[in-house]
Chains A and B, each alone.
Chain A
Amino acid sequence: MAIMTYADAAKAGLAEEMRRDPHVWAVGEDLGRGGVFGQYGGMLAEFGPERISDAPISEACIMGAAVGAAMMGTRPVVEMRFSDFALCAIDELVNQAAKARYMFGGQARVPLVVREPIGMWRSSAAQHSQSLESWYTHIPGLVVVCPSSPADNKGLLKTAIRSDDPVVYMEHKGLWPVEGEVPEGDHLVPFGKANVLREGRDVTIVSWSAQVHLCMKAAEQLAKDGIEAEVIDLRTLWPWDKDRVLASVEKTGRLIVAQEAVSVSGFGAEIAATVSETLHGALKAPVKRLGAPRIPVSYAPPLEDKARVTADQIAAAATALVGR
């Protein structure tokens, strides 16, 4: 095990896959100088400009070219810089990448990975802060990945690169510098397998991406009051580990879904609905969704903070559900 940042762990995973398979290549704006967050730093020297490829500011063509290149047997890793900019490439992702295999009757595979950094950090405002993961879970054909730790960012990225499905790979910008232990060598984290970060009997808290860390903080606060929360990091939203979530709620009888994204039509709604449909009789309290209000993210900190779900809010919601 080595201690690495979330950014470096992804870099290690990508580099390993590029060494293993000559058909893996990365393309995006400013990759040659390391990518805007340094997540490709130094890779040009090892792999050269054809495989760590700069691109014009042409998001539709970056994505569309990746579709064509993937159908022709290469494995492009596409960098979109911010998930916000990936909206310029929605046709290419949703109508082309996600549909090609199905609408051509199984003739095509589109093994591309699109990296779309999500989330708030500080004062990046409405067009550089969004968490749009739930949009893609609605699209048949796509895989949606939201890693929360350095180890997962390596292991899930490697799995994504080896997948024959198009994968929307959403790293959280606030996590780039976060350090953690990362297994060396072929560390592969499968899709659809949640990570139970903490076991508990009183309430299940389901989350993903950076919000997971706030859930863990909330769980520590709750433990001081004698409430034992089970914290589940979904890791991937499609496929999502329904069995693990249901098993946990069956035990605790209570569910909180905590997400950084806007709550309305967020992926939390899918989890809440599934749990209500399946475990209505086992629930000791109504399910609780926590997410951002339906406001764009602001620039000024007091306004921006209104879009955040805090550890205190999660703890308060859990306390209310447990009835203390």
Chain B
Amino acid sequence: MTDRRNIDANRVVDHCRMMWRIRAFEENALRGLDEKIVLGAIHPTIGQEAIATGICANLNRDDVLLSTHRGHGHTLAKGANPEAMMRELFGKEGGNCGGKGGSMHIADFGVGMLGANGVVSANIVIAAGAGHAIKLKGEKKVVCCIFGDGAINRGPFLEGLNWAVVFNLPVLFVCEDNGFAATTRTKTMTGGDGPSARARSFGLQAKEIDGNDVMAVDETAREMIDAIRNGGGPRFLHAHTYRLTGHTGSDPATYRPKEEVEEKWKDDPIVRASALVDGQKDAIEKAKAEAYAEMSRAFDVAKAASFPSADLAFTDVQDAGDPRQGAY
């Protein structure tokens, strides 16, 4: 629990601003889904905003982030432009990936966001490799790899953590533990003592924290990222949270009682952060209003944008060979 006495009020307000931006982005994305202009599946991050916010506040622009299918919050917090993201969700020209990726492949290399991933756990080994490149080049950058509690049951989790330890790589692994893997309670399908215990068994320093306490995430991430940047090798952050929406934007989540979700709304990370500071109510309200205005503008611009020209289907496949060969 964050101690209210020696808290940096401005930092809390900044975090509230980022969390509201993520929340507002997700609500607009869900509106897009309702209006059928979000074309594919989206995985909202409502309720989990504190993790992306607290961690990315400690990453530099040229640090690297690898994310998952539930990646909008991470991408925004790393500094991506929400209008380009919204365009991508709508499959429009000017999307981060030119409309070729959509929500599950959202990426913005310009801010070090090397991609969401449609394959659970796959980002863990890629993150290890990104760390490996940083080490080979003698750079001071840090890689942050965020994945869900479901990802720890796939082989790449084991292989990637071991790799990062063996090569002493600058990687922060973050398990965003929302208790669910799609419609399944993750614990019922996970042996042993869970994410941190597994990480420790590989020799990683691991910490388990309340991931809805943004200042706790901020502080732990800062400590770990500093240690990593100074050559201390990989670290593991296990953050508990709760997914307040369904698994996807269209999942009614009937596999869990309504009362459970109502109870969890009381633990809303934005409300909790706002309660940490006195006298900042207006500043936070203003940040909230600006966030909703920003995201609704992004929605409108993306909605009005055109689809990409169909010929672009043939670009950026690869340098060698003709992608049209044999077709039609």
| Among candidates A61, A104, A143, residue contacting B107 with C-beta atoms closer than 8 Å | A104
Contact with B along A41-65 (1 / 0, CB 8 A): 0000000001100011010110111
For residue A238, CB closer than 8 A to chain B, the reply is yes
B315 touches A56 (CB 8 A): no
B134 touches A242 (CB 8 A): no
Given A65-B129, A104-B101, A105-B97, A58:B163 Cβ within 8 A: yes
Instruction: Determine the distance from Cα of A154 to Cα of B97 in the docked complex, in whole angstroms.
Output: 36
Contact with A along B103-130 (1 / 0, CB 8 A): 0010111100011011100101111111
Given A102-B316, A141-B318, A239-B322, A68:B132 Cβ within 8 A: yes
Instruction: Determine the distance from Cα of A50 to Cα of B117 in the docked complex, in whole angstroms.
Output: 28
B133 touches A142 (CB 8 A): no
| Among candidates B131, B318, B326, residue contacting A274 with C-beta atoms closer than 8 Å | B326
For residue A92, CB closer than 8 A to chain B, the reply is yes
Interface size on B, as a range, is: 35 or more
| Among candidates B109, B125, B320, B325, residue contacting A104 with C-beta atoms closer than 8 Å | B109
Q: Which residues of B contact A320 (CB under 8 A)?
A: none
Q: Which residues of B contact A163 (CB under 8 A)?
A: 319-320
Q: Which residues of B contact A165 (CB under 8 A)?
A: 318-320
| Among candidates B109, B132, B322, residue contacting A69 with C-beta atoms closer than 8 Å | B132
B163 touches A68 (CB 8 A): no
B159 touches A61 (CB 8 A): yes
A68 touches B131 (CB 8 A): yes
Q: Which residues of A contact B137 (CB under 8 A)?
A: 23, 72-74
Q: Which residues of A contact B304 (CB under 8 A)?
A: none
Q: Which residues of A contact B162 (CB under 8 A)?
A: 56, 58, 61
Q: Which residues of B contact A302 (CB under 8 A)?
A: none
B125 touches A61 (CB 8 A): yes
B156 to A, closest residue via Cβ: A60
Instruction: Determine the distance from Cα of A101 to Cα of B323 in the docked complex, in whole angstroms.
Output: 14
Given A72-B64, A73-B133, A96-B119, A107:B109 Cβ within 8 A: yes
What distance in Å separates the Cβ of B257 from its nearest Cβ neighbour in chain A? Answer: 35
What distance in Å separates the Cβ of A58 from its nearest Cβ neighbour in chain B? Answer: 4
For residue A220, CB closer than 8 A to chain B, the reply is no
For residue B160, CB closer than 8 A to chain A, the reply is yes
Interface size on A, as a range, is: 35 or more
B130 touches A68 (CB 8 A): yes
For residue B179, CB closer than 8 A to chain A, the reply is no
Q: Which residues of A contact B212 (CB under 8 A)?
A: none
A56 touches B126 (CB 8 A): no
B319 touches A164 (CB 8 A): yes
B318 touches A68 (CB 8 A): no
What distance in Å separates the Cβ of A53 from its nearest Cβ neighbour in chain B? Answer: 8
For residue B100, CB closer than 8 A to chain A, the reply is yes
B315 touches A68 (CB 8 A): no
Instruction: Determine the distance from Cα of A219 to Cα of B256 in the docked complex, in whole angstroms.
Output: 71
B122 touches A95 (CB 8 A): yes
B128 touches A68 (CB 8 A): yes
What distance in Å separates the Cβ of B23 from its nearest Cβ neighbour in chain A? Answer: 26
A56 touches B129 (CB 8 A): no
A72 touches B119 (CB 8 A): no
Contact with B along A142-173 (1 / 0, CB 8 A): 11000000000000000000011100000000
Q: Which residues of B contact A215 (CB under 8 A)?
A: none
Given A25-B136, A95-B122, A108-B114, A102:B160 Cβ within 8 A: no
Given A61-B160, A68-B133, A108-B115, A96:B320 Cβ within 8 A: no
Instruction: Determine the distance from Cα of A58 to Cα of B128 in the docked complex, in whole angstroms.
Output: 12
Instruction: Determine the distance from Cα of A70 to Cα of B119 in the docked complex, in whole angstroms.
Output: 19
For residue A316, CB closer than 8 A to chain B, the reply is no
Contact with B along A101-139 (1 / 0, CB 8 A): 111111110000000000000000000000000000000
- Could you tell me which residues of chain B, from 257 to 291, have a CB within 8 Å of some CB in chain A? none
A192 touches B101 (CB 8 A): no
Given A56-B159, A56-B163, A68-B132, A103:B125 Cβ within 8 A: no
B101 to A, closest residue via Cβ: A103
B163 to A, closest residue via Cβ: A61
B323 touches A64 (CB 8 A): no
A92 touches B115 (CB 8 A): no
Instruction: Determine the distance from Cα of A165 to Cα of B318 in the docked complex, in whole angstroms.
Output: 6
For residue B321, CB closer than 8 A to chain A, the reply is yes
For residue B96, CB closer than 8 A to chain A, the reply is yes
A166 to B, closest residue via Cβ: B318
B162 to A, closest residue via Cβ: A56
Contact with A along B160-190 (1 / 0, CB 8 A): 1011001000000000000000000000000
B316 touches A105 (CB 8 A): yes
Contact with A along B90-102 (1 / 0, CB 8 A): 0000011111110
A239 touches B321 (CB 8 A): yes
A238 touches B321 (CB 8 A): yes
| Among candidates B99, B108, B125, B127, residue contacting A60 with C-beta atoms closer than 8 Å | B125
CB<8 Å pairs between A and B, sample of 8 = A64-B126, A68-B127, A68-B133, A103-B105, A104-B96, A104-B105, A105-B107, A163-B320
Residues on A facing B (Cβ under 8 Å): 23, 25, 50-51, 55-56, 58, 60-61, 63-74, 76, 91-92, 95-96, 100-108, 140-143, 163-165, 191-192, 238-239, 242, 270, 274
Interface contacts beyond A92-B126, A104-B107: sample of 9 additional A-B pairs, CB < 8 Å, sorted by A:
A23-B137, A64-B122, A67-B126, A68-B66, A68-B131, A95-B118, A101-B318, A102-B316, A165-B318
* 9 closest Cβ pairs, A-B complex: A64-B125, A68-B129, A65-B129, A239-B321, A105-B97, A72-B133, A61-B159, A105-B98, A68-B130
